[in-house]
A and B are shown apart, each in its own frame.
Chain A
Amino acid sequence: MRLKTAVWLLLVFALGAMSSEALASASDFELRKSIILGSTVDDLAVSQDRFVISLNKTGKQLLFIDTWNWRAMTGTVSLVNTVNSMAMNPETSRLYFAFSSGNIQWMDLSPLSTIAFNGSVSSGTLHLETGSTVLSGKTLGQMAVIQPEDSATAGDCLFVETGSSASASLYWMIVQGNTVVKSGGSILANVSNLELTASQNRVFARYKISSTNYLYGSRCSLGSQLVFENASMLEDSGHNFRGLGVEQTGSQLVIGDTTTSQLLLYGVTISGGILVNNYLASKTAEADQVWVKNFASETNPMTFFALGSLLSVLPLPGGDSFGAIGPTIDFDTAPLILANSSTTDGYLYVSPSGSNTVNIVSPNPWVGKTFLSTTPASPIGVDTFTVDFDYDISGSKVIIANCSKFSVKTSGCNSISGGTQTLDGSGVASIELFSENIGEGTHTLGVFVQDAAAPVHQGRNAIQVTINLPPPAQNFSLKFADQRIIFEFHSPDVSDLDEYTIYYGTDSTPPPSGGTPGSPSSPITESAEPGKDYRIIVEDLENGTTYYGQIVLSDTSGLTSTSAVKHTMPQPTESPKDASGDKGGFGCGIISGKEDAEAGAGRSPLLVLIFPLIFLLIVKIKLRGEG
């Protein structure tokens, strides 16, 4: 009995140890890589997980990072005029710009998805829409964009700060397509220290009027073209607040209280309007910037807070309390600019103010420089080749997948080699691949690593390879006819197919296999089109002699494939007329019987019957016509 209890206890302990090891935590977050751009980063946004967009105010331009293979892209997109701020919509498909002129303009980012692997951007890639001039002449500040609650993808609700930090106002507008369908007057006016943060479809503002601190929350509706608002008073005037972050669903707010050096967690309820009235927890931590982010790989939302250039992470277990503060990363200068990819992708992009560096912070295992270790023939032929990559991983498996387009998941790609190799620690890993398993053409190979945590963390990178394989060996049928042999085949559907060469002769080893050319005209070489039926007839051969045939296919790069050898024997043939003894020819015999036909008689009893009936029919019609 005691033994049984001990076994149970051991099992429970082991399971507990395993689960605690598998659970993700704040300590997973690390600085993974820094990417240097060509100019200062003044603001950041992420589009559809793949592109990190950096605003350079001085140069009035956008710069890009392609996270498919983690590189700064060549080229910029000009904004022509001075931009004060930018904000991405929740769908990450449209970027809004607040120009110094007071105009609001936007840019659809869908053209970015057409950029090829290792591609570049230019001002022709994206263009600014005319936008709105309703705030023309005002000084525009920060912006926040949310989705309407009643029609998530049909429009955006934009909130814009105007004025100065000492006396700011907040305006709103609803944008559908390229039209501002509704814009309102100022929601807030003459407030100070305004700070905005947005979740999917809720926006929050922290501000002061006189010395009193307030929180404002708002949603919007496309149908009624209204914003629903509510404001509540924070602590007394003795406190100073800095930093405001909201969780993705808009149900938790974190505010930095610099007076008490605490982070405050509030719950949000909806009752008529938005009520930020549910104080949940506090954590001793000094902050002047706060963000709350969700990650699919983490069981809890994560609060990131910065004090100067120091960025720390703090989980929100259960969403109603603070956990233990994780590692702190020093970015040297403050304040920090922060943007994030989707929860599924799980990357934070952080830039210290005034720098031209974008830092990647993530709980994901890291796949660094990805390259082909030994330089294979370019393009790669029928060969094995090795994809190498730097890694910093804990107990992760590696999956190589062929991705026709950008994908943050292996499910969007065709797995080539996956799951069998496990990496632990850091170093350079090598995965050997066989070109014939991938196929002809240029391929983007995604390198995915997944750890053993639950939920799983996934790191990714990619490399492009070009493979040039010889055409597949041509399958064909070799048929005979009278003094003829006939090659029939369907050419392979490969884009670089160039020509076919047919060898035939009486030698059982045709030239491609070391034999002698046949006669009368072997070989026959013609240009070939992919995926086409061919029927090649060789004439003037000897009946009763065995002929051997072989086909060699060539592609435009000179690679060839040789088919199997087939044989047949030309011989006289018997067609249906021969087999039946039919000589052809015409005779009368219509409607006559077999005997009549054999006798060659012209009698036709049935015609004798039918012609009177036809006559009768004519009479009948005539009588009716006269009637």
Chain B
Amino acid sequence: MRFKILFAAFALFAGVFSSRVIAQQVETDQAGARAQPEEKGIFQKETEPKSNFSFQLFYQLYYFQDKDFYDKFFDHDYIAPVGISIGGYPIQNLGVNLNVAYAQRKGHSFGLLDGDTDEESGEEVRLTLIPVELELVYRFDFLNEQALVPVVGGGGDWFYYKQKNEFSDDAEGNKSGYHATAGLGILLDRLDPSSKLALKEYGIENVFLELEARWAWMQTNDGFDFSGTGYSAGLLFEF
């Protein structure tokens, strides 16, 4: 039920913005010329066309909710995925992102004799995680060359995992869930305008330092619980 409400909200949002895009496109066509970006004042309202795509490299510290469990077996209650995010902007400021990351952590199994599981064994175990996320994000980017851009979003998660055991059978599978994200984009173009001109030659409109927090709720019904909170930093390129 709640997904239906969510769907309706996004549909309304998409409808409003898409009609605006189409209207602007018609005006441009009538003028007989392709819309060209113009130099705007800093506080001047930003207009279409804007970036179509985005690409991000990020590094994350992802803290598991069940931290005692991971701390026991892997000596840390977090993993550190590195990943890429590929996205597009169907509507101004509204992005669709596909994120893929990779993380691995080595640990040990524990002895079971007499029910005593406190002694670490010599058997090595290795947990590999490949989180895949499909998400919608909205970037509050309304001004020309806006230095700080708040970002919010949410989406679905699909985690591939594999636990490799040194002496016993491995286990692999997937878990799914969803997440919410909030962050801040810091426009780096303003720090070095000359590099912006150079990047434009390659079609890069903007470069942001993205700082984000994300909260993920994953399946917990059978086995691993990968729910947790991640903090990431990345470089976002808008084309």
Contact = CB atoms under 8 A, between A and B. Distances in A.
A583 B14 contact: no
Interface string B212-236: 0000010111111100000000000
Nearest to A572: B112
Given A606-B156, A606-B178, A583 B171 contact: yes
B171 A482 contact: no
B14 A480 contact: no
Nearest to B163: A577
Interface in B124-176: 125, 127, 134, 136, 155-158, 163, 165-168, 171-174, 176
Contacts of B52: 617, 620-621, 624
Interface string B1-12: 001101100110
Interface string A583-620: 11111011111100110000011111110111111001
A486 B217 contact: no
A597 B176 contact: yes
Contact of B125 (A575, A594, A606, A617): A575
A544 interface: yes
Contacts of A624: 25, 49, 52
A581 B73 contact: no
B101 interface: no
Interface string A129-159: 0000000000000000000000000000000
B121 A613 contact: no
Interface in B3-37: 3-4, 6-7, 10-11, 14, 18, 21, 25, 28-29, 34-35
Interface stretch (B38-46, B89-97, B184-192, B195-203): B89-97
Interface in B48-71: 49, 52, 69-70
B177 interface: yes
Contacts of A620: 21, 52, 90
Contacts of A569: 111, 113
Nearest to B29: A627
A575 B225 contact: no
B104 interface: no
Interface string A557-577: 000000000000101111111
Contacts of B219: 589, 594, 597-598
A604 B163 CA distance: 28
Contacts of B90: 613-617, 620
B102 interface: no
A613 B91 contact: yes
B85 to A, nearest CB: 15
Contact of B134 (A484, A586, A589, A591): A591
Nearest to A575: B109
Nearest to B127: A576
B134 A606 contact: yes
B95 to A, nearest CB: 9
B176 to A, nearest CB: 4
A623 interface: yes
B171 A481 contact: no
B111 A571 contact: yes
Most chain A beta-carbon neighbours within 10 Å: one of B3, B74, B122, B157: B122
Interface residues on A, range: 35 or more
Interface string A416-444: 00000000000000000000000000000
A573 B122 CA distance: 10
A582 interface: yes
Contacts of B35: 627
Interface of A is mostly: mixed
B176 A591 contact: yes
A591 B155 contact: yes
Interface in B70-123: 70, 73-74, 88-91, 94, 96, 107, 109-113, 117, 119-123
Contacts of B168: 482, 573, 575
Contacts of B96: 610, 613-614, 617
A486 B120 CA distance: 12
A67 B181 CA distance: 77
A572 B14 CA distance: 57
A584 B155 contact: no
Nearest to B49: A624
A575 B165 contact: yes
Contacts of A579: 69, 73, 110, 117
A488 interface: yes
A578 B106 CA distance: 16
Given A576-B69, A584-B171, A621-B52, A481 B176 contact: no
A283 interface: no
Contact of B171 (A582, A594, A606): A582
A592 B174 CA distance: 13
Contacts of B134: 590-591, 606-607, 610
A591 B120 CA distance: 37
A586 B171 CA distance: 11
Contacts of A585: 173
A578 B169 CA distance: 11
A621 B69 CA distance: 47
A610 B136 contact: yes
A586 B219 CA distance: 12
B123 A573 contact: yes
A481 B94 CA distance: 53
Nearest to B5: A605
Contacts of B158: 589-591
Given A609-B7, A612-B11, 5 more contacts: A479-B121, A574-B117, A582-B222, A584-B173, A617-B90
Interface of A: 479-482, 484-486, 488, 537, 543-544, 569, 571-587, 589-594, 597-598, 604-610, 612-617, 620-621, 623-624, 627
Q: Give 7 closest A-B pairs by Cβ, nearest first.
A: A582-B223, A591-B156, A479-B122, A605-B3, A486-B122, A617-B90, A571-B113
